[in-house]
């Protein structure tokens, strides 16, 4: 795993970039955090190509992109090099996969708030999942980066409840209990 580039904010999608990168590309130029850079990585999306070009105009040193379908290894590389991973609302399996990949690589995420996200936030512990209500804003990116740079998480994200062996044992116990009650 690579060390993160200081100040790198990543928008990533294993597929098309549209939902992931549109809002960050629109608000990034309004951020005020010193040394902040935006990286956009994921599958080609004609709707976003022009937006990437527009956002990068005059900000080439702060905005970079990798527009291609990403292999798992490429996604790991991109996430590992980020200080913060921006995700859209967790609505699809691909969104959820990106969330868990970032957490498993010990990279904090900024995602739209929802009851499911709040539940996971409590599970993994403080400092890993940051949320925003409604549209993403430059101010929210700045405040999360300030929090990360002034006091990173004290321990790795707690993902044991997602461990397949733990989950399998929990299911086995439930089935044994149900079988005992049926006798």
pLDDT at 129 over 70: yes
Overall domain count for the chain: 1
Range from 51-65, 87-101, 135-149 carrying the lowest mean pLDDT: 51-65
The confidence band for 1, taking pLDDT boundaries of 50, 70 and 90, is: low
pLDDT given for residue 105 in this prediction: 95
Q: Output the CA angle 16-18-19, nearest 5 degrees.
A: 105
> Does a structural domain hold residue 115?
yes
Average pLDDT, integer, range 119-148: 94
> Does a structural domain hold residue 50?
yes
pLDDT given for residue 166 in this prediction: 65
> Does a structural domain hold residue 132?
yes
For the stretch 27-67, pLDDT in tens is 998 999 999 999 999 988 887 877 777 776 767 778 888 98
Q: Is the dihedral of CA 90, 72, 102, 86 positive or negative?
A: negative
Cβ atoms of 139 and 171 within 8 Å: the answer is no
> Does a structural domain hold residue 12?
yes
The pTM of the full predicted model, rounded to 2 decimals, is 0.84
> Does a structural domain hold residue 167?
no
Residue 151: partners with Cβ closer than 8 Å, 6 or more residues away: 127
Domain residues for 12?
A: 8-153
pLDDT given for residue 167 in this prediction: 62
pLDDT given for residue 79 in this prediction: 97
> Does a structural domain hold residue 78?
yes
> Does a structural domain hold residue 174?
no
> Does a structural domain hold residue 177?
no
Q: Domain of 67: which CATH number?
A: 3.40.50.2000
């Amino acid at each position: 795993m690579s060390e993160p580039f200081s100040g790198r904010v990543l928008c990533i999608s294993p597929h098309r970039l549209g939902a992931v990168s549109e809002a960050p590309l629109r608000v990034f130029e309004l951020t005020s955090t010193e040394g902040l850079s935006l990286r956009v990585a994921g599958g080609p999306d004609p709707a976003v190509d022009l937006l990437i070009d527009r956002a990068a105009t005059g900000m080439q040193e702060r905005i970079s992109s990798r527009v291609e379908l990403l292999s798992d290894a490429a996604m790991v590389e991109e996430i590992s090099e980020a200080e913060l991973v921006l995700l859209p609302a967790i609505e699809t399996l691909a969104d959820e996969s990106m969330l868990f990949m970032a957490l498993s690589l010990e990279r904090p995420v900024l995602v739209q708030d929802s009851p499911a996200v709040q539940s996971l936030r409590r599970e993994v512990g403080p400092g890993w999942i940051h949320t925003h209500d409604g549209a993403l804003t430059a101010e929210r990116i700045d405040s999360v980066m300030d929090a990360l740079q002034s006091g990173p998480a004290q321990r790795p994200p707690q993902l044991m409840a997602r461990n397949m062996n733990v989950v399998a044992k929990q299911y086995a116990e439930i089935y044994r209990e149900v079988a005992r009650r049926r006798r």
